[in-house]
Amino acid sequence: EALYHVPAWGAGYFHVNDSGHVAVRPLGPNGPSIDLLEVVARLRSQNVHPPFLLRFQDLLRTRVTQLNRAFRRAIAETGYANTYRGVYPIKVNQLREVVEEILEAGLPFSFGLECGSKSELLATLPYLDRDDMLLICNGCKDRAMMQLILAGQRLGKKVIPVIERMAEFQLLLEVLEDRTLPPVSLPAAFGIRLRLSATGSGLWSESGGETSKFGLSLAELLGLLDHIADNHSALSLQLLHFHMGSQIAHLKQVQEAVAEATRIYARLRKRGLGITYLDIGGGLGVTYEAGNPEAPGSIDYTLDDYARAVVATVQQVCNAEDVPPPVLISESGRALTAYHSVFITEVLDTRSRHYERPSWADGQHHALLEALHQLYELAASEAPLALHERLETLRHQVNQAFREGALTLEQKATAEQLYWATCARLCERLPQAPEALQDLPDPLRQLPTQLADHYLCNFSVFRSLIDHWAIGQHFPIMPIHRLDEPPSRRGILIDLTCDSDGQVRDFVTPVGEKHTLELHPLRPGEPYYLGFFLMGAYQDIMGDQHNLFGRVTEAHIYLDEDEPGNFYVELILPGATVEEELAQVQYYPNDLERRMNHLIQEKVRTGFIRPREGVDLLELYRRILRTSTYLEH
């Protein structure tokens, strides 16, 4: 557990049980636990094989309840004279079952939704089955979207368009003035996204601050006030919104932004604007790292700290300005969804370098090989950096000699083995702790990664771990079993894509940089499963089709209330098949099969293959078209 830093990122939802397996506690630290290996075994018995994504729907519900309760507690503690009304931004994970689960768990708290595009608007509007639910409409809007939003208001729903740019305000006015459209209910409620001075930090910080993509500057906002005053019977500014970017690292950054936005709210209230809502956007983070709050995927606060800081800051500013406090809205997505899904893959194969020193063989003598043998001897005693430099020089000489025809294949092979054996010897002398490695010069620091085993896993980084590839985000990854056995290898993970970026070579660490993962050697005939954790936010939906690897199979797992510790699989959503994936790029099975048959029949006609073989071959092609895009193992 400690080796993989489970207590730091697991937040009480994950632990290692007595069998040495990772287990999930969907209700939190004191609740019942589900053994992940048992889930894998159950699915395999139903002929569902990794890679797959497990969704622990109870965990999703737990997070919704915890978020709402945290705000309720903070409101009660501070005596805040208004309420909290969270919305779920579906961009974080749009899967219908995820959204429905969140809405169901959020029912006692009148939890609402946020949409950021046309498709998301159309997906969310029909879910407003209670009039008190909020739908916050962020993102760029066109005329039709604005009409639909206002039509939603006409239905008595709290659908609030958030104006992101000045041109969007014009659009709102035009739609309101268009007499050819069905009447809307007036005044039309709308919100404004603020471009604050306060910024976050880290991988997502560009969403906030004065140079961010969205939002109105203060000058633009003031410019709008006259329009609003002139059209007060048609327009009602009800909401101020800001979003600092996902995964805000420090609570202080939250407090600064909230204070700035509340000050704007208060000053506008004093000018007579009846703003009801202050929407603080997303950004509530989760810890993906090993406990050091300075590591890039870490945060320095808890859910309760966040809620308390927001409520107290708004309260303070409103008291100081003597205005009534607003209804608080947050658009937390990552914090609700990250924990609930775990991706499971199977290791298909490993590749280790041979670090043994090759013996002298007849006919292999060569001055370069002798020099390499000498360096191997010195690797135990000489200064590592100087020795590494000499080793690299020799390696270049060997490569050049081979290109010029001066070395045999055997000599070149021996030289390569000697090179790696010497590197391994050098590596043994380096400090093992990541923090000590970080201070070494580059060539030495890279040695452990260069010497690591390659674990070929049945997955695509681009499909299932896109933020690792795109922005270098770390995700907790570890074996889900054999944890009662110390891992004896160090590896990096290689995926199935034909792309050298399709690797995971950065892992969770307390110091922010660790390039290998402790793993077990494979045992013949026994599967070895790895779990990728905190996968529920953004990864599913943003993954792409590189090399045409498709959506993985999903299983939705629930706690069995009648039998604590047991679980049931409620739903299996099959992953994409090869034919479905091909259809996305305009290859259709009928056409492909016809072409394939044409190739085969030509060979049958000329007698190159027998007709029976032709039939079998076509059948093989057809069968594979209907299988998963991942490898069958």
β pairing state of 567-573 and 553-559: antiparallel
- 498 is a catalytic site residue: yes
246 binds ligand PLP (CB under 6 A): yes
| Helices 367-378 and 409-428, axial angle in degrees (round to 10) | 10
Q: How far is the CB of 165 from ligand PLP (least distance, A)?
A: 14
236 binds ligand PLP (CB under 6 A): no
Stretch of residues binding ligand PLP (CB under 6 A), selected from 11-19, 217-225, 278-286, 612-620: 278-286
68 binds ligand PLP (CB under 6 A): no
Task: Kindly tell me which of 249 and 508 has the beta carbon lying closer to ligand PLP.
Answer: 249
Phi, psi angle pair for 601, to nearest 5°: -65, -35
Q: Which amino acid is at 230?
A: D
> Do 577 and 587 form a contact (C-beta atoms < 8 A)?
no
For 330-457, strand residue ranges (E) read 341-351, 453-457
Q: Pick from 31, 86, 152, 333: which binds ligand PLP (CB under 6 A)?
A: 333
89 binds ligand PLP (CB under 6 A): yes
Stretch 206-225: interaction string toward ligand PLP, x if CB under 6 A: -x------------------
> Do 267 and 321 form a contact (C-beta atoms < 8 A)?
yes
Would you report the helix, strand and coil content of the chain in percent, each value rounded to 5?
45, 15, 40
Q: How far is the CB of 91 from ligand PLP (least distance, A)?
A: 6
Stretch 180-209: interaction string toward ligand PLP, x if CB under 6 A: ---------------------------x--
331 binds ligand PLP (CB under 6 A): yes
* Helix (H/G/I), strand (E/B), else coil: 431: coil
Q: Pick from 212, 332, 341, 422: which binds ligand PLP (CB under 6 A)?
A: 332
Task: Kindly tell me which of 283 and 434 has the beta carbon lying closer to ligand PLP.
Answer: 283
Task: Kindly tell me which of 212 and 629 has the beta carbon lying closer to ligand PLP.
Answer: 212
Closest residue to ligand PLP: CB criterion = 282
Q: Pick from 55, 243, 474, 556: which binds ligand PLP (CB under 6 A)?
A: 243
**Residue 487: which residues within 8 A CB-CB, separation 6 or more?**
3, 479, 518, 519, 520
Q: How far is the CB of 264 from ligand PLP (least distance, A)?
A: 17
β pairing state of 477-479 and 453-457: unpaired
Q: How far is the CB of 30 from ligand PLP (least distance, A)?
A: 26
β pairing state of 14-16 and 503-504: unpaired
86 binds ligand PLP (CB under 6 A): no
Q: Pick from 138, 238, 287, 460: which binds ligand PLP (CB under 6 A)?
A: 138
43 binds ligand PLP (CB under 6 A): no
Q: Which amino acid is at 245?
A: G
User: How far apart, in Å, do the first and last CA atoms of the chain sit?
Assistant: 29
Q: How far is the CB of 284 from ligand PLP (least distance, A)?
A: 5
* Helix (H/G/I), strand (E/B), else coil: 167: helix
92 binds ligand PLP (CB under 6 A): yes
**Residue 242: which residues within 8 A CB-CB, separation 6 or more?**
193, 194, 195, 196, 208, 215, 257, 261, 279, 280, 281
Question: Which entry of 140, 423, 427, 498 is annotated as an active-site residue?
Answer: 498
Q: How far is the CB of 204 from ligand PLP (least distance, A)?
A: 7
Q: How far is the CB of 298 from ligand PLP (least distance, A)?
A: 14
Q: Which amino acid is at 271?
A: R
User: Could you tell me which of 501, 60, 116, 479 has the C-alpha nearest to residue 281?
Assistant: 116
Task: Kindly tell me which of 10 and 202 has the beta carbon lying closer to ligand PLP.
Answer: 202
> Do 565 and 33 form a contact (C-beta atoms < 8 A)?
yes
Q: How far is the CB of 331 from ligand PLP (least distance, A)?
A: 4
Rounded to whole angstroms, the Cα distance separating 26 from 36 reads 12
Size of the site for ligand PLP (CB under 6 A): 18
Task: Kindly tell me which of 245 and 358 has the beta carbon lying closer to ligand PLP.
Answer: 245
Q: Which residue has the tokens 């889900």?
A: 480
Stretch of residues binding ligand PLP (CB under 6 A), selected from 23-31, 281-289, 376-384, 624-632: 281-289
Task: Kindly tell me which of 244 and 444 has the beta carbon lying closer to ligand PLP.
Answer: 244
Q: How far is the CB of 245 from ligand PLP (least distance, A)?
A: 6
User: Could you tell me which of 256, 341, 247 has the C-alpha nearest to residue 287?
Assistant: 247
Residue environment code for 445-457, b if the CB has 16+ CB neighbours within 10 A, otherwise e: eebbeebbbbbbb
Stretch of residues binding ligand PLP (CB under 6 A), selected from 127-135, 277-285, 596-604, 607-615: 277-285
Binding to ligand PLP (CB under 6 A) within 375-434 occurs at: none
User: Could you tell me which of 282, 55, 201, 203 has the C-alpha nearest to residue 506?
Assistant: 203
Stretch of residues binding ligand PLP (CB under 6 A), selected from 42-50, 242-250, 310-318, 367-375: 242-250
* Helix (H/G/I), strand (E/B), else coil: 109: helix
Tokens, residue 4: 């993989």
Q: How far is the CB of 538 from ligand PLP (least distance, A)?
A: 7
282 binds ligand PLP (CB under 6 A): yes
Stretch of residues binding ligand PLP (CB under 6 A), selected from 276-284, 347-355, 541-549, 569-577: 276-284
> Do 187 and 232 form a contact (C-beta atoms < 8 A)?
yes
Task: Kindly tell me which of 261 and 478 has the beta carbon lying closer to ligand PLP.
Answer: 261
Q: How far is the CB of 113 from ligand PLP (least distance, A)?
A: 11
Stretch 520-539: interaction string toward ligand PLP, x if CB under 6 A: -----------------x--
Rounded to whole angstroms, the Cα distance separating 138 from 92 reads 14
Rounded to whole angstroms, the Cα distance separating 320 from 259 reads 11
Q: How far is the CB of 218 from ligand PLP (least distance, A)?
A: 19
Q: Pick from 98, 115, 284, 421: which binds ligand PLP (CB under 6 A)?
A: 284
Q: Pick from 86, 202, 283, 531: which binds ligand PLP (CB under 6 A)?
A: 283
Stretch of residues binding ligand PLP (CB under 6 A), selected from 326-334, 376-384, 431-439, 576-584: 326-334
Give the rounded distance of the alpha carbon of 131 from its chain centre.
Answer: 33
Type and span of the H or E element at 246: none
Stretch of residues binding ligand PLP (CB under 6 A), selected from 51-59, 280-288, 521-529, 596-604: 280-288
Rounded to whole angstroms, the Cα distance separating 259 from 312 reads 10
DSSP conformation letters of 115-135: E-SHHHHHHHGGG--STT-EE
Residues that bind ligand PLP (CB under 6 A): 89, 92, 114, 138, 207, 243, 246-247, 281-284, 331-335, 537
Catalytic residue numbers? 498
